[in-house]
Structure formats: structure tokens, C-alpha cells
Amino acid sequence: MMTYIVFILSVIFVVSFVGFSSKPSPIYGGLVLIVSGGVGCGIIVNFGGSFLGLMVFLIYLGGMLVVFGYTTAMATEQYPEVWVSNTTVMGVFLLGLLMEVMLVLYVLKSEEVGVVFKFSGVGDWAIYDTGDSGVFSEEIMGVAALYSYGAWVVIVTGWSLLVGVLVILEVTRGD
């Protein structure tokens, strides 16, 4: 099972995406977002990026999603939608699940899968230790490169975040 752990985590990832994109109430969307965030962290850690995976947990789940949960709890309604309460939501959820199950069976059965692009069945999801990264870890070097060679990216993303705050304040201010 450990060889295909990335595949299993990807399946759980897609299923939780189906769970919130079938649009139940935001509280339940946040719930599956937690699951998908944790599973996404697992995928990243399996590729050797332990720092970035823990960053997902800390910043995404522990910062952004907590704030999202609090604001949703303030704005929630008396009877929030679950996946089984509304026929439409349940229908979309089951349809997404069905498509994912069919895709998983297709990937498991055949040697080569060509959906939008070709990949070689389940084989592409097993992590082999290819490449000689030497004595350092590549992902932490990438993070370091962001702040040295990628200074322009830091400026652009920092400016986008500032303008994001301004835009949100402007949009929700009303008249």
C-alpha cells in the first residue's frame, strides 16, 4: 500500500473537492477543505517536501481556514445544507463520486491512460528516488531561492496581497 500512497491520497483529495464543489453550506465545505488540506499536505510530504507540507498545515489550515470557519460561523443560517438534505447537492455529489470511481477503475485496470494527456496507469503515482539531489533538500533550496533570485515574485505577491485586502474592504464597504 505504501507504494501507492500518493495515488490513494490523490483519490481522497479529489473526493473532498467533489464534496465541497457540490455546494453544501460553507461550514461543511470548510470541513472537507480541512480534509483536502491535510491530504494535500500528505502528498507534498511524500514528494520530499516536508517543509512545504507543514507550511500547508500551519498557514492554510491553521490560519486561513480557521478565520474562514469563524466568519462562516458568524454568518451561518439556521438549517445549513448538508450533502443529503438537498436533492441537487446530493445528485451532484454522487455524480462526482461516480466519475471519480470510474476514473480510478480505469487507471487501475489499464497500463496506459489517456484522458487529457497520457500517463502510464498507476505507475506514475509511485515515487521512485530518482535524481541525485546530493546533500541538500531541493524544496528548502527552492524556498531560499524565492527570497534571493525570485525577489520580483515576492514583490508582486506582496503587492497582490495588499491590493487584495484593499479590494475586499472596498467591495464589502457598500455605500
Partner 1 sequence: MNPLIFTTILMTVLLGTMIVMMSSHWLMIWIGFEMNLLAIIPILMKKYNPRTMEASTKYFLTQATASMLLMMAIIINLMHSGQWTITKVFNPTASIIMTSALAMKLGLTPFHFWVPEVTQGISLTSGLILLTWQKLAPMSILYQISPSINLNILLTMAVLSILVGGWGGLNQTQLRKIMAYSSIAHMGWMTAVLVYNPTLTMLNMLIYIMMTLTMFMLFIHSSSTTTLSLSHTWNKTPLITTLILITLLSMGGLPPLSGFMPKWMIIQELTKNSSIILPTLMAIMALLNLYFYMRLTYSTSLTMFPSTNNMKMKWQFETKRITLLPPLIVMSSLLLPLTPMLSILD
Sign of CA dihedral 114, 119, 120, 121: negative
C-alpha cell at 50: 516536508
Q: CB of residue 168 vs partner 1: minimum separation in angstroms?
A: 9
Sign of the Cα torsion 65, 67, 70, 74 reads negative
59: contact with partner 1 by CB under 8 A: no
Least distance (Å) between residue 170 CB and partner 1: 4
C-alpha cell at 76: 451561518
- The residue range among 35-43, 74-82, 85-93, 150-158 that interacts with partner 1, by the rule CB under 8 A, is 150-158
Task: Report the SS3 class of residue 111.
Answer: coil
Minimum CB separation of residue 157 from partner 1 in Å reads: 7
SS3 per-residue string spanning 43-57: HHHHCCCHHHHHHHH
Residue closer to partner 1 (CB basis): 84 or 166 = 166
| Candidate residues 116, 131, 134, 149; the one interacting with partner 1 per rule CB under 8 A | 116
DSSP strand pairing (113-114 vs 118-119): antiparallel
76 binds partner 1 (CB under 8 A): no
Binding site for partner 1 (CB under 8 A): 116-117, 152-153, 156-157, 159-160, 163-164, 166-167, 170-171, 174-175
